[in-house]
Amino acid sequence: MKHHPPPPPPFSIKKLITWALYALIPLLLFHLYFHPLPLQQQQQPQQQQQQQKKSISVISSQEVVKKTTGIISRSCNYTDGRWVLDNQQGPIYNGTSCSTIKDGQNCMAHGRPDTGYLHWRWQPRGCKLPRFNPSAFLNLIKNKHLVFVGDSMARNQLESLLCLLSTVSTPELVYRDGEENKFRRWSFHEYKANVSVFWSPFLVKGVEKSAALGLKNHNKLYVDVADERWASELHGFDIIVFSIGHWFLHPAIYFEGQEERVLGCHHCREDGFNHSEIGFFDVFRKAVKTTLHEVVERKAMDDGDDHHQLVVVTTFSPAHFEGEWDKAGACPKKEPYKEGERAMEYMDVEMRRIEVEEVEAAKKELLLLQEKKKEKKMVEIEALDVTRMAWMRGDGHPGPYMHAFPFANGVVQERVQNDCVHWCLPGPIDTWNQILMQMLKTWNGRDQQQPL
Ligand SMILES: *[C@@H]1O[C@H](CO)[C@@H](O)[C@H](O)[C@H]1NC(C)=O
Ligand SMILES: *[C@@H]1O[C@H](CO)[C@@H](O)[C@H](O)[C@H]1NC(C)=O
Ligand SMILES: *[C@@H]1O[C@H](CO)[C@@H](O)[C@H](O)[C@H]1NC(C)=O
Ligand SMILES: *[C@@H]1O[C@H](CO)[C@@H](O)[C@H](O)[C@H]1NC(C)=O
């Protein structure tokens, strides 16, 4: 049984259909709901002017936001910007220098011939994003436990970080559990720092589709119960990065409440279930809400625990399938979209919006709780808002290079499996960790200088 939506497992009719469906759902949504987004529909000539105006207003609104809360707003807002070609400095690691890259994402070692995708730097509006500094990052997590929780995108971000950090210090794998090592921990002994990954594709309690459990096609989700596997270990985490999304597109049945009432389902009626179709957006929102509430609640209840936590939600990372997933050239781009070249799809916009809104809601909940308990702030919650920068990077996926040398001997097959969801390592996802580093810096500074 394979768990990651996109690298599709070996061919079988049933799986083929599942994967075709996976590729179709976003397309379907696109056609049903898509309205051009004002955000990106500007005409070329107006664009520059508007950009100038925007960057001015960004700076002034940052001054205002500074007074309230927020890690990103206090220094720089990395959300909006553009990818600029930077041939001076390439990635700090490569497919042979880093031993922990998952095979399917090791594009270099798998023979991807073009290297242009390695030379783009994220240029945020109105500020600069410093280059990743591995030893500085390790110092920031000294005596700390940094944990990635979520699906294979969480794992992709973790593996990017391991590669970045292992350029200065070799991590030792100190714990592993679960098929495909879904639960792992590494120690950077020199820095007394630990980095872990927890598999939890819904963050809430869920049963993944499994023939053994009589769930051939459907996941089961309990939308108001956090997944105990990570939640029970929260007290041992200093920095938590949540990253989920793609698993919510799959057929599922949703439950809620102590009596486990059926809330509805997604794509279950075709299989003879008589639950109402409720889509996945509301369920996704509930799952994120449940998760962040769990973090705040457990922290508030744990009186003996006075270490400060940072909670980061990496926002939805769009897929880039153009047509069928197993057609050669399913994500053929060789460079990023230019600003305004193409609008984000409805689903990507919504998934991001839900996460950003739920982060804001959780911050408010936290603030109220603090006022009530007259305590200093023990948790910081922030969105690592990568959706837009990720959307522009259709060139950064393994595509057919999820397998080694797919076109060996000059043979170009018509059908080839493609991964247009995860990111090549090195690749665009290294930038997520570059931003994470800036968040850690601000968080650390706040911790020492101004206890609230
Ligand atoms: C950062 O910029 C994005 C996009 O312009 C905006 O939605 C968001 O509210 C900003 N964040 C902060 C904390 O100002
Ligand atoms: C990968 O990095 C190592 C170590 O920095 C270097 O020796 C090697 O030449 C690099 N390989 C490629 C293909 O860039
Ligand atoms: C890191 O993991 C090691 C080995 O499991 C453990 O002994 C140590 O206490 C952990 N340190 C932190 C800061 O979590
Ligand atoms: C399906 O549900 C509807 C509404 O809840 C109900 O009226 C109908 O009888 C149900 N059909 C079956 C076959 O159970």
For 242-287, the pLDDT digits (tens) are 999 999 999 999 999 999 999 999 999 888 888 999 999 999 999 9
The confidence score (pLDDT) of residue 447 equals 47
Domain total of the chain: 1
Say if residues 401 and 111 touch (Cβ distance below 8 Å): yes
Residues 6+ apart with CB under 8 A from 170: none
Measured in Å, residue 59 CA sits from the centre of ligand 2 at: 40
Q: Kindly state the tokens that stand for 68.
A: 């309230």
pLDDT exceeds cutoff 50 at 119: yes
Measured in Å, residue 249 CA sits from the centre of ligand 4 at: 25
The confidence score (pLDDT) of residue 182 equals 93
Q: Is there a domain that residue 146 lies in?
A: yes
Measured in Å, residue 94 CA sits from the centre of ligand 2 at: 6
List the residue whose alpha carbon is closest to atom 3 of ligand 3: 187
pLDDT exceeds cutoff 60 at 34: no
Measured in Å, residue 194 CA sits from the centre of ligand 3 at: 6
- Torsion angle (degrees, nearest 10) of CA 109, 187, 228, 441: -90
Q: For ligand 2, is residue 96 a contact (CB within 6 Å)?
A: yes
pLDDT exceeds cutoff 50 at 54: no
pLDDT exceeds cutoff 70 at 74: no
Domain that holds residue 417: 84-451
Cα Rg for the chain, rounded, in angstroms?
22
Q: Is there a domain that residue 75 lies in?
A: no
CB neighbours of residue 53 within 10 Å = 10
Catalytic residue selected from 73, 152, 160, 317:
152
d(CA 256, CA 274): 17
The confidence score (pLDDT) of residue 78 equals 94
pLDDT exceeds cutoff 80 at 122: yes
Q: Is there a domain that residue 42 lies in?
A: no
pLDDT-based confidence at residue 301 (cuts at 50, 70, 90) = confident
pLDDT-based confidence at residue 294 (cuts at 50, 70, 90) = very high
Q: Kindly state the tokens that stand for 18.
A: 């599942």
Q: Is there a domain that residue 36 lies in?
A: no
* % the chain with pLDDT above 70: 78
The confidence score (pLDDT) of residue 15 equals 44
Is 86 annotated in the active site? Answer: no
Residues 6+ apart with CB under 8 A from 200: 149, 150, 151, 206, 227, 229, 230, 244
Q: Is there a domain that residue 51 lies in?
A: no
Mean pLDDT of 73-94: 87
| Neighbour-count burial for 374-398, b at 16+ CB within 10 Å, e otherwise | eeebbbbbbbbbbbbbbbbbbbbbb
Which SS3 state, helix, strand or coil, does residue 341 take? Answer: coil
Q: Is there a domain that residue 366 lies in?
A: yes
Index of the ligand 1 atom closest to the CA of residue 65 = 14
Is 152 annotated in the active site? Answer: yes
pLDDT-based confidence at residue 19 (cuts at 50, 70, 90) = very low
Q: Is the omega angle on the peptide bond into residue 426 within 30 degrees of 0, that is, cis? A: yes
* Beta strands 120-124 and 81-85, pairing class: antiparallel
Q: Is there a domain that residue 444 lies in?
A: yes
Mean pLDDT of 175-194: 94
- Torsion angle (degrees, nearest 10) of CA 189, 380, 149, 321: -120
Q: Is there a domain that residue 374 lies in?
A: yes
Ligand with smallest separation from the Cα of 69? 1
Q: For ligand 2, is residue 94 a contact (CB within 6 Å)?
A: yes
